[in-house]
Amino acid sequence: MSGAQSSRRNLSAGWPTLAIMIGASVWGVIWFPLRTLASFGLTGTAAGAATSAAGCLFVLLLRRRSIATVRWHGVLPLLGLAAGVTNIGFVWGAIHGEVMRVLLLFYLTPAWTAIFAHFILHERLTWSGAALAALSLAGAVLMLWSPKLGVPLPGSAAEWAGLAGGMGFAMSNVLVVKTSRVLPQMKPEMRTAVIFGGAAIFGLIASFFEPMPTLHAGEPLARAVLLVLALGVLLGVNNMLVQYGLARVPANRASIIMLFEIVVTALSSWLLAGETPGPREWTGGACIVLASLLSSWVHRAQEARKRPRQIAHASAEASAIAHADAGLLDDESDHDDRDQNDKQMGDGRGDLDGKHSGDRSGNRSEDQTDSQNDDPAADKNDDKNANRHGSPGARPDGGQNGARAMV
């Protein structure tokens, strides 16, 4: 029985990790249906706007009770703008460029995050953080180096879009943390709705600057509409699935699991698009992935150094509380002992008074005549004295001495 319970516990503990891996896998192949939309005549900006609008509507309908937690703050439009840049950069780059190169440029996020967090969240930029940012940028330089140009710059508009999308992604991550601080009552799914809504609005505006082919009514248009709706629902569910995993998996391990997206993208681009990265792409990508892995390790090491101080602080607080509680218990114990001693002294005095009263009554009874001994009233008085003094443990409230102290 214990073995079955242990296996069920291990299985339930693995669901959050599986949720993150599924989310990373979806993001690793999402470029293919976006290219399918482009083949139907829907541009990248319009496709991003349509799918984001469908995702926002789906989240709002599914979590409509959480809408009441939204409060206006200036950080919300900034979060929507950053999400819009992220979405358009990735979608447009994945449709018009080499998926693997675009994704690796997108994954320069650790470098931009370290810079943005320093200026927006006022987090101290450590030497380790700067070194990791430099490592990821060195990987990008190695991958982008062109002997013809002589400079390590993106070689196409799609690669520039992927680079801008990665910067927007880093900014949106920082602004999500900022939003959670300034609007703590806001539900996470509402932040997701803001991200989808910002991506939809920004994509709609950007679509006016890109020539839109004419969509003919009929089967292609119906397929495009159904694919847009399906992608919106898929992205909405996928985002909530990833949030479920991130809430239950340590951040350092989650960031490592998220790198599974690069593996899925490399396989899907090779199988579905026939794209094969060269040696420089693999080497530069390895540097970027290594920077992400080391970033997780540095974060875990920093948390490990903080934990003993937090434990010591918590232990000191617990010790102070325990001493205070012990002092209160000692005071209450002393008070109860004094009450018990007073009661015992009172009972002793009552017994002593009863004894003296009995002696005096006995002396008087020896001097009284036989008629007085037969008096019924005297017998009643003796019965009262016996009831009052003959039970040393009796209390006026009918309880026994020490009963309340036992409770």
For the segment 233-261, what is each residue's pLDDT rounded down to a tens digit? Answer: 998 889 888 878 877 876 656 767 777 88
Q: Are 289 and 266 in contact (CB under 8 A)?
A: no
128 within a domain of the structure (yes/no):
yes
What gap in Å lies between CA 267 and CA 270, rounded to an integer?
Answer: 5
What gap in Å lies between CA 179 and CA 58, rounded to an integer?
Answer: 22
168 within a domain of the structure (yes/no):
yes
Q: Which residues pair with 394 in a beta bridge?
A: 400
pLDDT digits (tens, 9 = 90+) for 126-168: 787 778 778 877 887 777 776 665 566 788 899 999 999 999 9
What gap in Å lies between CA 258 and CA 24, rounded to an integer?
Answer: 6
* Confidence label for 83 from pLDDT (cuts 50, 70 and 90): very high
Helical (H) or strand (E) element with 127? helix 127-144
**Burial of 278 from C-beta contacts in 10 A (0-12 / 13-18 / 19+):** exposed
DSSP percent split of the chain into helix, strand, coil, nearest 5 = 80, 0, 20
pLDDT digits (tens, 9 = 90+) for 363-404: 444 444 444 444 444 444 444 444 333 333 333 333 333 332
> CB under 8 Å to 34, separation ≥6 — which residues?
44, 47, 48, 51, 91, 94, 95, 231
> CB under 8 Å to 211, separation ≥6 — which residues?
43
167 within a domain of the structure (yes/no):
yes
pLDDT digits (tens, 9 = 90+) for 291-335: 777 766 766 666 666 666 556 555 555 565 555 555 555 555 555
- In the chain, the number of structural domains is 1
Instruction: Give the structural domain span for 60.
Output: 17-317
> If you average pLDDT over residues 11-27, what whole number do you get?
82
268 within a domain of the structure (yes/no):
yes
pTM: 0.65
250 within a domain of the structure (yes/no):
yes
